[in-house]
Chains A and B, each alone.
Chain A
Amino acid sequence: MDPNWNDSQPIYRQLRDRVVEMILEGALGDGDALPSVRSVAAEYRLNPLTVLKGYQELVDEELVEKKRGRGMFIREGAKKKLLLGERELFIKEQWPSVVATIRRLGLDMGDLIQQAEAQLSGDDGEGEQ
């Protein structure tokens, strides 16, 4: 498996993002162990310090904890914490532009809410509609 690193971000940052993605997708759950620095370094052929730096970001963000002699683990509530952050980001950054579009197109809020509610109850917020 060879990840496609891009040039616009340092690799440790991309590694951090990858773990975050896995937490959000549920591939890594609360209490799960992260793969060891050594195994990630070998698998992706990265300097171990790069891997460590990526993991340290996650520790600093309180998503991952170090357990002495045992490695790194996903902290309780990591996904919840990430979702909170994502929600805040949506409300702060994306929502205002959605509202601006609503105004620009002259859409009716009542209609929109009705449609959104129908969509949400139709698929319990999981499917693609």
Chain B
Amino acid sequence: MTTLVRASGLSKHYGGAAALDGVDFQIEQGRIVGLIGPNGAGKTTALKALLGLTSFEGDLRVLGRDPRRERHQIMQDVCFIADVAVLPRWLRVKQTLELVQGLHPKFNRSKAESFLAKTSVKPDSKISQLSKGMVTQLHLALVMAIEARLLVLDEPTLGLDILFRKQFYSSILGDYFDENRTILVTTHQVEEIEHILTDVMFIDQGRIVLDESMDRISARFLEVAVNPDRLDAARSLGPISETDVFGRRVFLFENVGIDLVRPLGEVRTPGIADLFVAKIKEQAA
């Protein structure tokens, strides 16, 4: 398996405060990795570091290169959609395609055009005339037409309506992603991407609090709606969280065998959002 990103002891301080506090992680080729964390957790700092947009301490390799010194080479194979997608507002759509064609050696213009043909974005429209959803479609068209090995998406669907959000991920999965490509995505809308991910990383206060494949998540974590008469038995197994859902106590267990929890009540695989809340609370405790 090819490792595209390898961080060890990655740190970043703003004044006295640590935005990233000695973080270790790896991203393998062909994966869709979700980086999930509350505001100010260090998500954007981590992305900036690997895109060579900020200084940092520790070791970080992207496609085997150091983003501090070899940003130019890295960006030949890495694409980025930011939440504040900035395209010059006075450009027309077709001029934008020309511009990127001139800037990026791996840009396939006809691919971008055929993608745009399926949308309502017209070649002669000015970017300032496009809706936010259409700007994202244009941005997506540009990015998908570049033969990149790593695509970095920072809150890509922020502020888009549900139709555009669905279309966005359907396009990525239908027209872009394959086993030679790798996607790193951050989002607040966890539910929206949880079925898309191969791996998930939780980040909080500059530290990685969970780094696991989705396959292993279902083995490692179990959610149980515990029957009222089994509450004490459930507590004795050391749940990482206990919440009240419509009068039923729902427990979350980590690394507790399914045979132990099955007699307690109804067993499910927890959603990423619930798991996230539990892990962040556990950190704070």
Contact = CB atoms under 8 A, between A and B. Distances in A.
Interface of A: 5, 7-8, 10-11, 38-39, 41-50
Interface of B is mostly: mixed
A49 B198 contact: yes
A49 B32 CA distance: 10
A3 B269 CA distance: 18
20 contacts: A5-B195, A7-B223, A8-B268, A10-B269, A38-B174, A42-B170, A42-B174, A43-B174, A44-B195, A45-B166, A45-B169, A45-B173, A45-B192, A45-B195, A46-B195, A46-B196, A47-B195, A47-B196, A47-B197, A50-B195
A8 B265 CA distance: 12
Interface string B212-236: 0010001000010000000000000
Given A43-B174, A45-B170, 4 more contacts: A8-B268, A10-B218, A38-B174, A46-B173
A39 B174 contact: yes
Nearest to A6: B268
Nearest to B172: A42
Which of B171, B196, B267 counts the most chain A CB atoms within 10 A?
B196
Nearest to B266: A8
A46 B198 CA distance: 10
Size bracket, chain B contacts: 20 to 34
Contacts of A38: 173-174
Interface in B148-184: 166, 169-171, 173-175, 177
B196 A7 contact: no
Given A7-B268, A7-B271, A10-B218, A47 B174 contact: no
A38 B175 CA distance: 8
A7 B269 contact: yes
B33 to A, nearest CB: 11
Contacts of A7: 223, 268-269, 271
Contacts of B198: 47, 49
Nearest to B214: A47
A47 B32 contact: yes
Contacts of B177: 41, 48
Nearest to A42: B174
Going nearest first, the 5 A-B pairs with the smallest beta carbon separation are: A42-B174, A7-B268, A42-B173, A42-B170, A41-B173
Nearest to A41: B173
A33 to B, nearest CB: 17
Contacts of A45: 166, 169-170, 173, 192, 195-196
A6 to B, nearest CB: 8
Interface string B194-206: 0111100000000
B235 to A, nearest CB: 22
A60 to B, nearest CB: 17
B268 A48 contact: no
Contacts of B170: 42-43, 45
